[in-house]
Structure 1
Amino acid sequence: MSFLHSEFLYYMLPLIFILFGLLLTQKESHATFFSDEVIQKLRVSSNTLTLKARNALFMLIAVLMTIALAGPVIKDGKIEIKAKSADIMIALDISDSMLAEDVYPNRLKLAKQKALELLRLAPNERIGVIAFAKNSYLVSPLSFDHEAVAFLLKKLDTNSITEQGTDLMSMLQVVDKSIKKDSKKYLLILSDGGDKKNFSKEITFAKEKDIAVFVLGVGTPQGAPIKLEDGEFIKQNGKIIVSKLNDKIADLATKTGAVYIQGVNSDADVKAMLSEIERHSKKKELKSEEIEKYIPLFYYPLGLALLLLLIATSSMSKRVKVEVPGLFILGLLLFNSSSSYAGLLDFMHLDEAKKAYTQKNYAKSAEIYDAYAKKANHNESYYNAGNALYKQKKYKESIKNYEKATFSDKISRAKNFANMGNAYAKIADEKSLKKAIESYEKSLKLHEDKDTRENLEAVKKALKKKEQKKQQQQKNKNQKNKDNKKNKDNKNQKNKQNQKNQQNQKNKQDSQDKKAFKGSKKKDQNNEQRKSKKPSEEEKKQQKQQADKNKQKDKKKQEAQKKKEAAEKKQKKDKKKPASGSAAKAAKMKNKMSDAEEAKWLKALNNNQNTYLYRLNQSSKKKENSNEKPW
């Protein structure tokens, strides 16, 4: 017999012997006051063990448990263990065509998820990773450390390689160099196939180098445009390129003795591909080792220690046996009275709440779940109450219940965060949408879910639209204020211009009045000079002629006056023709006109003009323009 962990014997047994040695050699406290004869007379006989006997049992129990910890075993020969693996190299296409979104979320992200799923499903296989586009690079050599391989795989994106394109030949050359030449090589390609139609060179190379090429096609035959990070699509000759799944890459798989599978959104394709790889592969022996086989004996000393513990504890006095558990239970009741838990019949209430929820009586269900959750501090009841309130469209109250529900397992916490995100999304204001995105992201960190991922993308789009609408409203408001300010400035400028025009018109009129007044004054002076002189015969004759002319003028004036009155009556009847204000001015100027001016004025009246304005200068002839606007 030997011990697997003999260190327990070396370090623990000496301490146990020292401790219990002190306890066994120590006298009882009353022995210092009474002799042994007196104690024997005063002691009441009972069936219990003495203190020293009980301590001796406890020491023996401690020794037996230490021996059990040391792991006593009996050798039972040797066995040989062999480590075998079918080495699998994963080749991931990271060219720009893998950014096409004909699969969710896009080809590259879906391919990485499938590679990670393969790592999870094949824990006993050595797996490596190659990234390729125009050139190929070894990301991770073949390794059993799947966590490290997964870490490197997650960091890959289209910016990892500068030269874009899809060159499968360079990738096959990297595979050949990274795996030993004397072994069968198994390669899994995750790609959309690129644009090449003839893979004869690659097939020939794979056969020469003994590479079995398994292909998992990522994409759809319908294809999709390639959207870059800046939001623009890749164009060629001014036209947007549509990248499609190249099914010709299936020849590379089938003609090298492997399998081609077109990818789907679930993990069924990865499971099918792994089973095909395992069926075709011949696992090679990586390492063999002989190990000792033992028969364990630890349960013998452990069982004996438990039996002795039962004897030592059951031999206590009746008083100790009854009162110690009583005090212990009383302490539990006192210290735990604040956190009271469910009663024996509470399951009936929960069943009633569940039935009410099924019958769409959400108000009753929420009431029962909420009351039970507050009473028992039950996380699942808070969660169910939140769901019932959500169904009643009481989203803010449901969020409070979701926040109180704290689960230990990741999946339940992920569901709780997802439902909280749904409630925030239903409130639909900008702040709530941001909270919804935060809840969805917490849920996806704990557990990846397709519906939650789709809800996250939808809420992000809704938030983006709200922000754009808000920006447009602010822009419209600023433009409106700008237009109002511009109109106000134009109005003020127009008023100033009108005032200026009125002032110029007034100054012009005053100038004309002043000029007319000077002419009449000069005429009066000439008449006074003529009166002061004695008229001669010739002058008398001229005066007579002038008198005749004046009579004729007076006659013409009377006729003009009649025509004027007739014109005024006509203007009153015709409302469409606006009355001119120059008649009043002409009346005022009547007594201030010179003879020449008066003649011109009469001539204008005789020509049946519709206006009472007159010109002092000669009017120039103008050509009529039929296209001229009336204003």
Structure 2
Amino acid sequence: MTWQSPVRLLLLFGVLALAVGYLLMQRRRSAYAVRFTNLRLLDRVAPVRPSWRRHLPAGLFLAMLALLVVGFARPSAEVRVPRERATVVVAVDVSTSMLATDVEPDRLSAAKEAASQFVDGLPDEFNVGLVAFAGSAAVVVPPGTDREALHDGIGRLAEGMTGVQGTAIGEAISASLGAVKGLDDKAAKQPPPARIIVLSDGANTAGMDPMEATAAAVAAKVPVHTISFGTPGGFVDRGGRPIQVPVDGQTLKAVAEETGGGFHEADSNEELRGVYEDIGSSVGYRKERQDISARFIGLGLVFAMGAAAGSMRWFSRLP
């Protein structure tokens, strides 16, 4: 936190002086009462006086003054602000290996659930799109703010829906970049701030070379965050015969490092949700320094009302 008018903080010495003066007055009043009062008589005829309550309005009043001085000094801090036209494209692997049950109930079902929760956690103004890929890639839902359409698209994700076997990570990145470029009429000349998230469990086995698609993402200044999902012991059942489908994240790691995105590994539902939360806290935002004096002024006014309410409640007067 910084101050636009730090010299105004010197007024806090005035608040401190008032606090010291109040304490001295209370001490002087107590000494006077002990010197000139018949304590036995006072104990019999005087009503019970509040102890800490009689100091509370004064304390709140001094706190209010301090907060107002801080607000007067115009503090500012960096605040996360959603970027205009921020666009996120989530690409989900729907190859056969995603039916492995090493993650309950299976990798694909867990991925769909986590993706749905991730979408719900993004600001409503974010444009979010969905890409499905196996041996090829297809845009299931173009980027937009229609969350109902997006949830419907996530629900329709199914193994083999692209019609081509394999894992085409390069095609997924390329299709996602195409979705970003087609966001609106301005996207060609004024690309929106975008992020791509690719979730897969294996290495690239089909389609475009992932490094070629990665180079296109670098040129477009679109970071690609990748998630390697699954365990080394995963397998799928094909006609009663188990086929090993161990997770392989080397390609995904290389893509993330090259584009400036983040590489994550998850081998459970909980870890996958945590990864999405981590990604969601960073995509589509910019840091902007803003004046936050209203926070201190508002809290000071709350304290002022508390001081007034306490004084009226216990002493039938304003402080």
TM bracket (short chain)? 0.5 to 0.7
Higher strand content, 1 or 2:
2
Cα distance in 1, alignment partners of residues 128 and 262 from structure 2: 18
Q: Return closer, same or farther for 1:263/1:85 CA change in 2, 3 Å cut-off.
A: farther
Partner of residue 218, structure 1: 229
Partner of residue 246, structure 1: 248
Q: Tell me the number of residue pairs that the alignment of Structure 1 and Structure 2 aligns.
A: 194
Cα distance in 2, alignment partners of residues 131 and 262 from structure 1: 20
Cα distance in 2, alignment partners of residues 269 and 226 from structure 1: 20
Percent identical: 23
Q: Give the TM-score normalised by structure 1.
A: 0.29
Aligned counterpart in structure 1 of residue 265 of structure 2, from 262, 265, 275: 262
Deviations 1:15-45 (A, max 9, x none): xxxxxxxxxxxxxxxxxxxxxxxxxxxxxxx
Matched, 1:201 2:212: yes
Contact kept? 2:89, 2:176, Cα under 8 Å: yes
Look up the SS of the partner of 1:159 in the other structure: coil
Displacement after TM superposition at 1:170 (Å):
1.7
Cα distance in 1, alignment partners of residues 272 and 100 from structure 2: 20
1:265 partner amino acid: S
Q: Return closer, same or farther for 1:283/1:132 CA change in 2, 3 Å cut-off.
A: farther
Deviations 1:73-104 (A, max 9, x none): xxxxxxxxx98353110001111111112211
Look up the SS of the partner of 1:245 in the other structure: coil
1:117 partner amino acid: Q
Displacement after TM superposition at 1:264 (Å):
4.2
1:152 partner amino acid: G
Aligned pairs for 1:121-136 within 5 A = 121-124=121-124, 125-136=126-137
Contact kept? 2:134, 2:166, Cα under 8 Å: yes
Q: Return closer, same or farther for 1:103/1:208 CA change in 2, 3 Å cut-off.
A: same
Higher helix content, 1 or 2:
1
2:265 partner amino acid: Q
Partner of residue 194, structure 2: 185
Cα distance in 2, alignment partners of residues 265 and 225 from structure 1: 15
Structure 1, unaligned stretches of length 5 or more?
A: 1-81, 234-239, 285-631
Displacement after TM superposition at 1:132 (Å):
0.8
Displacement after TM superposition at 1:212 (Å):
0.9
Q: Return closer, same or farther for 1:123/1:185 CA change in 2, 3 Å cut-off.
A: closer
Partner of residue 174, structure 2: 173
CA RMSD of aligned residues (A): 2.7
Displacement after TM superposition at 1:183 (Å):
2.9
Partner of residue 153, structure 1: 154
Contact kept? 2:129, 2:179, Cα under 8 Å: no
Contact kept? 2:88, 2:197, Cα under 8 Å: yes
1:203 partner amino acid: T
Displacement after TM superposition at 1:267 (Å):
4.0
Partner of residue 307, structure 2: none
Look up the SS of the partner of 1:177 in the other structure: helix
Contact kept? 1:199, 1:251, Cα under 8 Å: no
Q: Which has the higher contact order (CA 8 A, sep 6+)?
A: 2
Displacement after TM superposition at 1:283 (Å):
5.6
Q: Return closer, same or farther for 1:83/1:279 CA change in 2, 3 Å cut-off.
A: closer
Structure 2, unaligned stretches of length 5 or more?
A: 1-81, 181-186, 288-319
1:154 partner amino acid: G
Cα distance in 1, alignment partners of residues 133 and 168 from structure 2: 7
Look up the SS of the partner of 1:137 in the other structure: strand
Deviations 1:395-450 (A, max 9, x none): xxxxxxxxxxxxxxxxxxxxxxxxxxxxxxxxxxxxxxxxxxxxxxxxxxxxxxxx
1:120 partner amino acid: D
Displacement after TM superposition at 1:224 (Å):
2.3
Contact kept? 1:91, 1:132, Cα under 8 Å: yes
Look up the SS of the partner of 2:150 in the other structure: helix
Q: Return closer, same or farther for 1:157/1:282 CA change in 2, 3 Å cut-off.
A: same
Contact kept? 2:85, 2:193, Cα under 8 Å: no
1:129 partner amino acid: L
2:165 partner amino acid: Q
Cα distance in 1, alignment partners of residues 215 and 114 from structure 2: 28
Cα distance in 2, alignment partners of residues 194 and 227 from structure 1: 20
